[in-house]
Chains A and B, each alone.
Chain A
Amino acid sequence: MMSEATAISVNHITRRFGSVVAVNDISFDVARGQIFGFLGPNGSGKSTLIKVLCGLLAPSSGSATLDGLDVVRNIEEIRQKIGYMAQGFTLYNDLTSKENITFYGMVYGMFGNRLKDRTNAVVEMTGIGEYMNRRAGALSGGWKRRLALACAMLHEPKIIFLDEPTAGIDPVARRELWDLLFELADRDVTLFVTTHYMDEAERCTNVGYIYHSNLIAIGTPGELKSLPEISPSGTRRYEIDAPDITRVHGLMKSWDSVRDSTIFGASVHTLVDDRIDAGDIKSRLEKNNVEVRNIRPIDPTLEDVFVTLTRHHEKIQNEGVAA
């Protein structure tokens, strides 16, 4: 399965903390130059897997290769080839942006002109130039992220791991950071990104979904949306726009022909048997004195995918416990 084009290959990785299994027997491949979105609820094991792949935690069992090198045996060699942007801000607050970059440059064995060239390159890419002499601790959240990314890509890594790179920064900074990630992917850098934002997930080449330490789905966003659990044959998905969505949601859930109903912001997404159509839904709701503004057929979003997958697996798990 592994080829020249495989950047990350994870084979049956398990990591336990005492009796707690944080990552359970996970396997997948990521091709070179992909943006791989790794998704899942808090505490599902995302950061643990990243730490195992970066050599910060030893796997309890299983193996993984980065760029063909084993993460346990060849970790020192791997370290020269990977970049890592941790979940929190992990640079030195009391050092300026420039000093942080210089420090990491020196750590990667860069001095003199090479250090200068690479510093200029990352400064140009991240646009951090005017903040070079400011203490890192005094930067805003968005600039801290860019500085962290500048340090992580300074040594031209082939793979960069980004653990929730856009958590807690404003939408503009988020957009700009993603533009930067696309630019890196264009240069054949493989990006492994965890996120909670579905719009970000939609932008990834491939997406993996981890739930309760298990990888339960992997594929392109399009592939995931057409999974049989998400869009069973003989069903249709509608978006209902109504002033009182809570009542709509309640009514929808009480009908036999409705498979699923979820509130999304100001509307309800519902999965119904295809023997009923938008008109049927509208008339049934209005019969119950509920005002309906609009009903339209929709494709599932990634959010539909993950909500459905999570419910599905919760059910399986509960049945497993009950049995």
Chain B
Amino acid sequence: MFKGLRAIIYKEFIHMRRDPITIFVALIIPVLQLVIFGYAVDLDVTNIPTVVCDQDRSPASRELPYKFENTGYSKILHEVDSMDEVLAKLRSGKAKIGIIIPPGFGDARTTREPTQVMVLIDGSDSIVAQQALNIANTIGLRASIIDLAMKSGAENPLSGERTFDVRARLLFNPTMKSANFMVPGLIGILLWIVTVFLTAASIVRERESGTIEQIFVTPLSRQAFIIGKLLPFAILGIIESAVVITSANVFFGIPINGSVYLLGLLIIPYLLTGLMVGLMISTRAQNQAQAMQFSALTMMPSVILSGFMFPRASMPFIIYALSCAVPLTYFLEIVRGIILRGAIWADLWDETAILIGFFLFFLVLAVSRFKKQLG
């Protein structure tokens, strides 16, 4: 059944030795991508550029912008004299928040009479806008609570004991670093690239060069051919996982809260699924360019639907249903679970079972199409 396996392995390792660039690309580029992605794909919003138009020029109106800045999310970059200039700054993108303080603001604050401040927010980037909106609302709400209490003769309520104290505590990622969230997901993306792209190219390359024709007239078994072709990439994938996880730990200081061994073990079904998808592409594609396009096609759902970037819970039903068909969805649960939440086998067996199911499904699909024949 595995006739010729030794021969294929012998040959594949010579190919690898003769083509160190592929190995380099497979091992080093993902680490670089990890560093670049890990730093660039940063969802933390700080230092939002802010423009202020103070038409009051009182002590209270001078203090207000600093309340924005003190949150750490806003940075005052410009001070202008008119509403038009505020709009101009927002339009040009030089500022994302515009604070317009009307005349009489200071007097109203002293007497704690109702008054208004206009805050304009650039809504084009929804994440930034959301953050800006939060700061503006919080600042207004805090001032109003204090005013109400003071007017009724009480002390500053925020300095005393609260009657209804909601204490939110962040578990697993207390500093809310988005890298902690993104990087484990990236491991899944990068592993997908290595397994799917490299495998997809490997068999179709032999088809293109005609070498497959020569191999198919020999008694080599197709099982041996497939296993021999996949084995180097499986090994590469395992090494790659180790390299990426280690560098995630070193470059991003991401602690692995769960068991590294469990992580290592549960990576395998995901890796095998990727190899099978690559194999499936390789047995169907007519040439390498086509194989690359098919591979790229599998990337999109992985990035968009898996929950790598956007939470799946808020997806419309159909999209959510589609996301259930993406292997990375389940691997993300595993890798984020173990690395961030210290999840154990009991938490992850169902995701693992689904991944094994994917593996078997693609295995059957890939191998059933694969005959030792041309055309």
User: Which A residues contact B (CB, under 8 angstroms)?
Assistant: 17, 51, 54-58, 76, 79-80, 82, 84, 86, 88-95, 99, 102-109, 151
Contact = CB atoms under 8 A, between A and B. Distances in A.
Contacts of A54: 217
A26 to B, nearest CB: 18
Contact of B18 (A57, A88, A94): A94
A99 B14 contact: yes
A95 B218 contact: no
B209 interface: yes
19 contacts: A55-B373, A56-B373, A57-B373, A57-B375, A79-B217, A79-B218, A80-B219, A84-B217, A86-B210, A90-B213, A92-B11, A94-B14, A94-B15, A94-B19, A106-B6, A107-B4, A107-B8, A107-B215, A108-B219
Nearest to A102: B10
A95 B211 CA distance: 12
B167 to A, nearest CB: 65
Contact of A90 (B19, B209, B373, B375): B209
B375 A106 contact: no
Nearest to B17: A94
Nearest to B374: A56
Given A105-B7, A106-B6, A107-B219, 10 more contacts: A54-B217, A55-B372, A56-B374, A58-B373, A90-B210, A90-B213, A92-B15, A92-B211, A94-B14, A107-B8
Interface in B206-229: 209-211, 213-220
A55 B374 CA distance: 9
B3 interface: yes
Nearest to A161: B217
Contacts of B219: 76, 79-80, 107-109
A57 B209 CA distance: 18
Most buried by A among B3, B6, B218: B218
Interface bracket on B: 20 to 34
B217 A106 contact: no
Contacts of A55: 216-217, 372-373
Most buried by B among A17, A99, A102, A107: A107
Nearest to B6: A106
A104 B16 CA distance: 18
Interface of B: 3-4, 6-8, 10-11, 14-15, 18-19, 209-211, 213-220, 372-375
A103 B224 CA distance: 14
Contacts of A90: 209-211, 213-214
A54 B8 CA distance: 21
A103 B7 contact: yes
Contacts of A91: 211, 214
A107 B218 contact: yes
Most buried by A among B4, B211, B372: B211
A94 B211 CA distance: 12
A99 B4 CA distance: 15
A82 B14 contact: no
A115 B217 CA distance: 19
A51 B213 CA distance: 9
Nearest to B3: A109
A291 to B, nearest CB: 51
A104 B209 contact: no
A58 B211 CA distance: 19
A108 B219 CA distance: 7
Nearest 6 pairs of A and B residues by beta carbon? A106-B7, A90-B214, A84-B217, A79-B219, A90-B210, A107-B7
A99 B216 CA distance: 18
Contacts of A92: 11, 15, 211
Given A102-B10, A103-B7, A106-B10, A84 B214 contact: yes
A17 B375 CA distance: 9
B17 to A, nearest CB: 9
Nearest to B7: A106
